[in-house]
Amino acid sequence: MPIPRTVHRHLDVNGVRVFYRESVPDREDAPVLLLLHGFPSASHQFRRLIDALGSRYRLVAPDYPGFGHTEAPDDFVYSFDHLADVMEDFVQKLGLSRFVMYVFDFGAPVGFRLAERHPEWIAGLVVQNGNAYSEGLSDSARGLIALRPETPGSEEIVRNLLTLPGTRSQYETGVADPELLTPDSWTLDQHFLDLPGRKEAQLALMFDYHSNVQLYDSWQGWLRRHTPPTLIVWGTGDPFFPEPGARAYLRDVPDAELHLLDTGHFALETHLPEIAPLISGFLDANA
């Protein structure tokens, strides 16, 4: 099977040069999947998924400000509300009006903000270790969320997470077979984390993460009101977002399709052959 063509572009969005990857499918009217990446990665985490599905579907994967190849001005204010503002403008400028949204890690708080602002955009959700429930927070995640910049030692704790060992551990923890992981992933993530200003951006976002927890009730209400078709694929060894966070979605979208996988946070790294057909079937049925 031929590998689909993927284009790599920048789009100016109110002073932010948003980098994004986009597949060019065989059909102009192909279903659209918006891929919202996690921490500390960027759109490159989806490159194998784009290769697997890009000939049949239009996959669009942007980098947020502070991540990947996106270029933000020096005075950009890093908060989850502001990331969502940029992604909202990006979607509108790209002309996307109806799509399935893939939310992973940081992609969940960005994506659910978009969903609340524009429910008409959302044809369905693919949730992969993207948390929206208090029971989906591990003790270590709760500890990080509780950090505040004025608390002594908080910045050091976060900066330790932004080192190469910290980045690598996010890939390896909970993975049954580490040989399935390519070191290219965490090496590339670390390259971007080590660029000027990037660690400061991540500090600001980590200290803002509590704003997401405060919105969990609102997002759950959105799910109950709109009951979007939902596919949940979840690595059960995730050190941040454990399995109860996946099952909790079934309270609000009881018809959701749930698949639990014996892997860690970055489930696509080890289980692409299982996940890609699930997404394909979901897009065929709902996009």
Please determine, for residue 2, whether its predicted confidence score (pLDDT) is greater than 90: no
Percent of the chain with pLDDT over 70: 99
pLDDT of residue 287: 74
Q: Are 205 and 105 in contact (CB under 8 A)?
A: no
CB atoms within 10 A of CB 150: 7
Catalytic residue among 37, 44, 82, 265: 265
Could you name the CATH architecture of 5-286?
3-Layer(aba) Sandwich (3.40)
Write the pLDDT tens digit of every residue in 97-106: 999 999 999 9
Find residue 18's DSSP bridge partners.
11
Please determine, for residue 1, whether its predicted confidence score (pLDDT) is greater than 60: no
pLDDT of residue 173: 97
- What DSSP character marks residue 221? H
Write the pLDDT tens digit of every residue in 126-163: 999 999 999 999 999 999 999 999 999 999 999 999 99
Q: Are 229 and 246 in contact (CB under 8 A)?
A: no
Write the pLDDT tens digit of every residue in 217-258: 999 999 999 999 999 999 999 999 999 999 999 999 999 999
Please determine, for residue 118, whether its predicted confidence score (pLDDT) is greater than 90: yes
Percent of the chain with pLDDT over 90: 97
Question: Residue ranges of the domains in the chain?
Answer: 5-286
List the one residue out of 19, 109, 1 whose CA is nearest residue 60.
19
Whole-angstrom CA distances from 51 to 6, 21, 162, 284 are 8, 11, 29, 17
* Cβ neighbourhood burial of 254 (10 Å; 0-12, 13-18, 19+): exposed
Over residues 112-130, the mean pLDDT reads 98
Q: What is the mean pLDDT of the chain?
A: 97
Fill in the amino acid letter for 86. Answer: V
Starting at the earlier edge strand, list the strands of the sheet with 230-235.
5-13, 16-24, 58-62, 32-36, 99-103, 122-128, 230-235, 257-261
pLDDT confidence of 82, banded at 50, 70, 90?
A: very high
pLDDT of residue 41: 97
Q: Is 259 marked active-site? A: no
